[in-house]
Amino acid sequence: MSESRNIEELAKDVINNIVKAYEELRRVLKIDLPKELVNEALRETEHIVIHELCHAAIRKVYPEIGKVYDVNEAKATCVDELVGRLLETYVSRRVGAFVHSFEEHITELRLYAPLSNLNITPELLKGLYEEMVKAIEGGKLREFIKKVERDICRIG
């Protein structure tokens, strides 16, 4: 069985469990859940999965991130979360999924204690995004990640 087929089967299982949970809540509580809240929960689930897949991709493209975590967790968190959000934006735009604004990404990044004072603007993040897109298209994502580690994530 191909890797894509395995992921498709797992995704179907997860979706089936989400539907069962929805039905179970309706059954045991004898209520209808507000459609807008259910839709929001499903979109957020999609967003979270894409985000976590991006972290997995970063670890594959840049396995040294594990060693960076060992030496400087703050720097590694910066690289992982910053590049993760940029990659998430790229993938989400390409597949037609919900995309956070650069402002929202910065707000999320600052929720991490080591990144609370990260000196980054939406314009800088947009510029990094455009640079990352070129790196992806040129097969140089690894080099882009190294640059972010060296030039942007000077923490700790």
Q: How do the domains of the chain map onto residue ranges?
A: 50-152
Which pLDDT tens digit goes with each residue over 15-70? Answer: 999 999 999 999 999 999 999 999 999 999 999 999 999 999 999 999 999 999 99
pTM of the complete model: 0.88
- 21 contacts: CB under 8 Å, gap ≥ 6: none
CA dihedral 40, 17, 97, 125 (to 10 degrees): 80
Residues 132, 114: Cα–Cα separation, whole Å = 23
Per-residue pLDDT tens over the stretch 125-154: 999 999 999 999 999 999 999 999 999 998
- Cα separation, 73 vs 128, whole angstroms: 22
